[in-house]
Amino acid sequence: MKLRMSTLAVPALCVLFTTAGAAVTAGPAAATAISGGCEGGHVQFMSDTPIGLEPTQVTARLDGDLHTCVGTPTEEGGWSTDFVGEASCLGVNGKLDATFNWANGEVSRLVGPFALNGYGAPATNTLQIVEGPGAGGTVVITTGPIEKAGGSVTTCIDGPIRNVGMPVTGAQFA
């Protein structure tokens, strides 16, 4: 009888240790792919440095939101991040590394070059999703012209600016 118990116990222990080992060595769960888009949103650029016609290095805050989203974790979300780059009234260019907060509490991290056009032409930015929902994919964000109280502004006629907003005309996740 001892032999029989030992004969049964060894395979059972092997299964137990093999299963436990698999649970311990399993990597993190794969991120959920996002295949959808957002119809709109807003980007707000707030510079510590006055921006004029000549390009200058700036440190700024870049806030944004997306709304009316379909095929994404929630219908809306947003980011707020520090931004370092070059800016003039003709546009802003720099590198974005932002935490995107979905309305349900999930978080994605977006990185890549980010530009805003100072003139009426839209700017299209392709950002990598490196963490959270959509990791391994991209989001393409298109912005419209600068907004300013009293109408659209295409140059710094009123003098240097520090704070500009732009509509997001669309975002596509893939």
- Beta strand pairing status for 151-152 and 138-143? unpaired
Amino acid 32: pLDDT: 80
106-129: burial string, b at 16+ Cβ within 10 Å, e else: bebbbebebebbbeeeebebebeb
CB count within 10 Å of CB 28 equals: 6
pTM: 0.77
Interval 126-146 mean pLDDT: 95
More confident residue, 148 or 142: 142
Q: Does position 149 have pLDDT exceeding 50, yes or no?
A: no
pLDDT tens digits along 32-53 = 889 999 999 999 999 988 888 8
- Is 70 in contact with 76 (CB distance < 8 Å)? no
Amino acid 5: pLDDT: 44
Residue 105: DSSP 8-state: S
Mean pLDDT of the residues in the chain: 81
φ, ψ (nearest 5 deg) of residue 133? -55, 130
Interval 57-82 mean pLDDT: 95
Select from 79, 160, 55 the least CA-distant residue to 127.
79
Amino acid 97: pLDDT: 96
More confident residue, 122 or 31: 122
47 exposure class (CB count in 10 Å sphere: 0-12, 13-18, 19+): buried
Interval 140-147 mean pLDDT: 89
Domain extent listing, the chain: 36-173
